[in-house]
Structure formats: structure tokens, C-alpha cells
């Protein structure tokens, strides 16, 4: 299944179940040049990681870690999906 064929959830209520909502956004929106390792670790444990990634790709989120991927990783994913 390709990510460009999966519709993103229309209702953002799914975000309340995300582990990032329970830990705070500092890990997920670090200062430029800072590590995203902790954010990716938390994402790896999150039950809605795929919904988060779908949302980020659908809404062209340009900043932060979404669905376990950094900005650069999502950009590379978008380029390969084309």
C-alpha cells in the first residue's frame, strides 16, 4: 500500500491518543540542529504513528517530527512517492 493512497483522518480527535500529546511538544519540535532521537523513540511506541504520518503528509507539515519522520525524511518520502 502506498502512502499517497491512504486518506488522512478527517477528524483530528485521533491526536488526543498520540503519545506526543501526553509528553509535550518539545521533543517533536526541537531547535534547529538538535537531536530528534527521543521524538522518534516515542513515535516508535505510539499506537497511532501511521495516522500521524498520513496526516503530516496530507497537510504538508513542514516542521517537527510526525509519525516518526523528520522534516527531511518526509520530504524524501514525498519525492519518492511522485
Binding residues for [4Fe-4S] cluster: 20, 43, 46, 52
Q: Is 27 exposed, middle or buried (0-12, 13-18, 19+ CB in 10 A)?
A: buried
Binding site, annotated residues? 20, 43, 46, 52
Q: Which three cell numbers stand for residue 37?
A: 532521537
CB atoms near residue 7 (< 10 Å): 7
Give phi and psi for 17, each to the nearest 5: -85, -10
Amino acid at each position: 500500500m502506498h502512502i499517497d493512497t491512504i486518506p488522512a483522518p478527517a477528524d483530528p480527535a485521533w491526536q488526543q491518543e498520540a503519545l506526543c500529546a501526553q509528553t509535550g511538544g518539545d521533543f517533536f519540535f526541537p531547535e534547529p540542529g538538535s537531536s530528534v532521537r527521543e521524538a522518534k523513540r516515542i513515535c516508535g511506541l505510539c499506537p497511532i504513528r501511521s495516522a500521524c504520518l498520513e496526516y503530516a503528509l496530507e497537510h504538508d507539515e513542514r516542521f517537527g517530527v510526525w509519525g516518526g519522520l523528520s522534516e527531511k525524511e518526509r520530504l524524501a518520502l514525498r519525492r519518492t512517492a511522485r
